[in-house]
Amino acid sequence: MQPTYLPWPGYFELISAVDIFVIYDHVQFVRKSWHQRNRIRGSNGEIMLSVPVKKAPQETSISKIEISYDGKDPLQEHWKTISMAYQKARYFKNYAFLLEKVFSRKHILLCDLNTELIKVICAILPLSPRFVSSQMLDLDDSALGKTERVANICRKTGIDFLYDANGAQTFLDSDALREDGIRIEYQNYVFPEYRQVFQPFIPYLSVIDMIFNEGPSALEILKSGTNRPNA
């Protein structure tokens, strides 16, 4: 999975089901996508947090995109917004210090920020897969198709069973992967409802909304959305 900013619960349902989680960060960055933004919940509804980035050629990989610090520090501003939104949440004080440490550092690369947030959230839930960064695998796959690129990563990391996001069905050739000895299953996630400080309930927010509101129950709740034959 590509490293997105403060991912939604379904992202961590994927992580909860695997032994190895590949951070797919050597592929092209997409501006104004979940790579750099996500939603939280405030008293007046959803709030979009977006990390500003420096200009870069269109083909630049996620791993090389730099955060822009023109003007105010965007990470400190995001933390202020998060703190204001969740100060009344039942478990905010339990986990705030862990996330505040990440936002207090001046990260240069967006990928480093996203990856650290993902790992900290995994520690909170708790989840402990082996993390592998695709940029560190010394891949030379620019001439390969999307299915071949995924198969190549699986071979290099010893993966023979792939659990992927539902949207991957549109660009992966499942039969070709199976012929290559890689079984594949696609996520079928039903978003669970949980307590929020404000009503009405808003789904598909960043997982930190669930964590601050549900605390130790967050992992059980996010996994309750699993809809797999053998889950």
- Per residue in 122-155, pLDDT (tens digit) is 999 999 999 999 999 988 787 889 999 999 999 9
Residue 229 confidence class, pLDDT cut points 50, 70, 90: low
State the pLDDT at residue 142. 78
Does some domain include residue 111? Answer: yes
SS3 6: coil
| Burial of 190 from C-beta contacts in 10 A (0-12 / 13-18 / 19+) | exposed
* Residue 2 domain flag: no
pTM surpassing 0.85?
yes
Percent of the chain with pLDDT over 70: 98
Which domain, by its residues, includes 150?
9-223
Give CA–CA dist 76/49, Å, rounded. Answer: 12
pLDDT value at position 132? 97
Is 229 inside a domain boundary?
A: no
- Cα–Cα dist 14/175, whole Å: 21
Total domains present in the chain: 1
Model pLDDT, residue 143: 80
In a domain, 3, yes or no: no
